[in-house]
Amino acid sequence: MADQAVVTAGSAHSADQTRLPVVVVGAGGMGRAWIATVLRSRSARLVGVVDVVDGAAASALADLVPEESQADVRTGTDMLQVARAAGAAAIIDVTIPEAHHPVTADALHAGLPVLGEKPCAATLTQALSLAGHSETTGQLFMVSQSRRHNPHLREAGRLARELGGAGIVATRFSRAPHFGGFREQMVQPLIVDMAIHAFDAARVLVEGTPVSVTATSYNPAWSWYDGDAAATVVVRYDSGAVHTFEGSWCSPGAETSWNGEWALSCPTGTVHWDGEGVPVTVPGAGTDGGGGQDPVPGRAPSEDALWELDSSLEVFCQAVRGRGEPDSEVHENIWTQAIVEAAVRSAAEERTVHLSEILDAALEAARELDRADGRSSALEQWDAARSWTGDAARSWNTVGAGGPAV
């Protein structure tokens, strides 16, 4: 199998050597979206596609890469073989969540920075472990939370800051998709697979660090999901801000956008965002009470603004080149994963869960995981506080414009 693991249609040489050479790992639905994203990127170029299923990478290549460029892209089933043969400088991990930990850890230890699809890993324990592997190797691991890269969301945050900062944030999410497949068998499909986006987006909008989560989940009688397709989740922050997510994946009729509908209550007014268009400000009437004034639209994004995956990839490429620290670098993104895990536990145990509780337990388990693995002891240096402050200055190896890392 080893000698079949790398298939080269031709030279891996590209006309544009200044863009970061990347390999996309995982050629499923989202992997294909990432291949298309890299193909239109001004900062990255596709040099390889990998999938454990024999032929899947080649099939994605044939479907998505223009025929004249296919010779520049290697395909195979073994990530490190393809990366080396292709001269890759970075990996985009779009595998299933269960594979995120091994794929990302192997890439980091091979000297390759990683841009990984959400979630960071299948469990909070594995996510903490990956933060340790990133520290040990000195390689950047950024988690792509694509929905935080929405210019309208950023504008909603800016408007809220103008009104004194969001203190009460409400997300209403209501859709009725029939996915089939794994989501309809999951115990907590909405919280784990969908609400993670809203939890992460709220972190863009409010000041502070999440402290505790109180969640209720349920499954209406008409639901076509095995697990709980609806939930209400309350996330409290140390700044005093509270984010409430109220969502359903089995509510036909008046559906919201995929981003949900947002209301941000601030000291001097409210910001409304429908999840699709430009957010609006509704200023308060002043100290005499009464209703608000007419809505004032926020700024529309510039025509050349990058959205979602395109923006996420650009931020990653710049960070790998030593320009800027991405806000969803692994240490920062762990908070989003912790909210998800706390919400699942809160719903199961019908109690408020403090993030410090699950982070402490996950840190201990991650140390065990890393001891068994033997490649990273970085977490042994973490004191308990560091596991939830997450605000230390980060640095990582950078790749010069001239050349790949392997």
Q: In angstroms, rounded to a whole number, what is the distance separating the alpha carbons of residues 174 and 249?
A: 6
- Compare residues 81 and 356 and give the one whose CB is closer to ligand NAD: 81
Q: Is 176 in the site for ligand NAD (CB under 6 A)?
A: no
From the CB of 162, what's the least distance to ligand NAD, in Å? 29
- What is the per-residue DSSP string for 157-214? HHHHHHTT--SEEEEEEE------GGGGT-SSHIIIIIIHHHHHHHHHHS-S-EEEEE
Peptide bond into 252 cis (omega under 30): no
From the CB of 258, what's the least distance to ligand NAD, in Å? 8
- Compare residues 200 and 370 and give the one whose CB is closer to ligand NAD: 200
The span of 50-58, 208-216, 263-271, 339-347 binding ligand NAD (CB under 6 A) equals 50-58
Token pair in block for residue 108 = 């980091």
From the CB of 294, what's the least distance to ligand NAD, in Å? 34
**Residue from 19, 21, 22, 51 binding ligand NAD (CB under 6 A):** 51
| DSSP 3-state of 196 | helix
- Compare residues 183 and 367 and give the one whose CB is closer to ligand NAD: 183
Taking CB atoms, the residue at the shortest distance from ligand NAD is 28
* Percent helix / strand / coil, the chain, rounded to 5: 40, 20, 40
Token pair in block for residue 356 = 């410090």
Q: 273 pairs with which residues across the strands? A: 262
**Residue from 9, 39, 52, 168 binding ligand NAD (CB under 6 A):** 52
- Compare residues 141 and 237 and give the one whose CB is closer to ligand NAD: 141
Residues 34, 140, 189: CA angle, nearest 5 degrees: 50
For ligand NAD (CB under 6 A), the number of binding residues is: 21
Write the binding mask 78 to 107 for ligand NAD: x where contact by CB under 6 A, - elsewhere: ----------------xxxx-x---x----
**Residue from 10, 17, 53, 277 binding ligand NAD (CB under 6 A):** 53
Left, alpha or beta for 290 (phi > 0: left; psi -120 to 50: alpha)?
Answer: left
Q: Is 150 in the site for ligand NAD (CB under 6 A)?
A: no
Q: Is 26 in the site for ligand NAD (CB under 6 A)?
A: yes
- Compare residues 99 and 176 and give the one whose CB is closer to ligand NAD: 99
Phi, psi (rounded to 5 degrees) for 64: -115, -30
From the CB of 133, what's the least distance to ligand NAD, in Å? 16
Q: Is 200 in the site for ligand NAD (CB under 6 A)?
A: no
Query: Which has the closest alpha carbon to 398: 115, 111, 106?
Result: 111
- Compare residues 27 and 264 and give the one whose CB is closer to ligand NAD: 27
Is the distance from CB of 229 to CB of 250 less than 8 angstroms? Answer: yes
Token pair in block for residue 4 = 């079949």
From the CB of 70, what's the least distance to ligand NAD, in Å? 19
The span of 45-53, 210-218, 338-346, 359-367 binding ligand NAD (CB under 6 A) equals 45-53
Query: Which has the closest alpha carbon to 169: 109, 119, 233?
Result: 233
Q: Is 387 in the site for ligand NAD (CB under 6 A)?
A: no
Q: Is 28 in the site for ligand NAD (CB under 6 A)?
A: yes
Q: In angstroms, rounded to a whole number, what is the distance separating the alpha carbons of residues 214 and 227?
A: 18
Q: Is 117 in the site for ligand NAD (CB under 6 A)?
A: yes
Q: In angstroms, rounded to a whole number, what is the distance separating the alpha carbons of residues 212 and 217?
A: 16
Q: 174 pairs with which residues across the strands? A: 248
- Compare residues 99 and 110 and give the one whose CB is closer to ligand NAD: 99
Q: How many CA atoms lie within 13 A of 115 on its CB side?
A: 31
Is the distance from CB of 228 to CB of 221 less than 8 angstroms? Answer: no
From the CB of 181, what's the least distance to ligand NAD, in Å? 8
- Compare residues 214 and 341 and give the one whose CB is closer to ligand NAD: 341
Q: In what order do the strands lie in the sheet with 210-218?
A: 296-297, 280-283, 269-273, 261-266, 168-174, 242-248, 230-237, 210-218, 353-354
Of residues 118 through 137, those in contact with ligand NAD by CB under 6 A are: 118
The span of 44-52, 286-294, 331-339, 398-406 binding ligand NAD (CB under 6 A) equals 44-52
From the CB of 164, what's the least distance to ligand NAD, in Å? 31
Is the distance from CB of 25 to CB of 51 less than 8 angstroms? Answer: yes
Binding footprint of ligand NAD on the chain (CB under 6 A) = 25-31, 50-53, 56, 94-97, 99, 103, 117-118, 146
